[in-house]
Amino acid sequence: MADVPTDIQALSGERVLAVTWPDRNADFPFVFLRGQCTCAQCVNEWTGEKILDPATIPADLSVNNMELVGSYALRIHWSDGHNSGLYTWQRLRELSSGVDRAAE
């Protein structure tokens, strides 16, 4: 599966999640990634409307913990207590087109 990252690191100093694929790297700012959460608390499951107000995301947000979910996604335990969102490899891959640091 081409979407599976080869490395994921939460860099607390830079406040970015550094994701590496064989052909691409991406640094996702924590606040950006938190704002992209698609769980039922952040996005209305029926309408797709965003419930999460980006203004409520703390600027000093950090990652307390991360865990793999099966072989397809990452669960991030944010320092604001939120951990219900899953970031699938496919979704990270899609988001990465906006924050490429080494585009092909």
Q: How do 16-21 and 7-11 pair as beta strands?
A: antiparallel
Decide whether 20 or 90 has the Cβ nearer to Zn ion.
Answer: 90
Among 33, 37, 61, 92, binds Zn ion (CB under 5 A): 37
Q: Which stretch binds Zn ion (CB under 5 A): 14-22, 35-43, 58-66, 68-76?
A: 35-43
Q: Site mask, Zn ion, residues 71-90, x = CB under 5 A?
A: --------------x-----
Q: Is 99 in the site for Zn ion (CB under 5 A)?
A: no
Q: Is 57 in the site for Zn ion (CB under 5 A)?
A: no
Q: Which stretch binds Zn ion (CB under 5 A): 10-18, 41-49, 64-72, 86-94?
A: 41-49
Give the count of beta carbons closer than 10 Å to the beta carbon of residue 33: 24
Q: CB-based contacts of 40: which residues, under 8 Å, 6+ apart? A: 84
Q: Is 66 in the site for Zn ion (CB under 5 A)?
A: no
Least Å from the CB of residue 6 to Zn ion: 26
What's the CA angle centered on 67, arms 5 and 79, to 5 degrees? Answer: 110
Q: CB-based contacts of 27: which residues, under 8 Å, 6+ apart? A: 11, 14, 16, 17, 18, 19, 99, 101
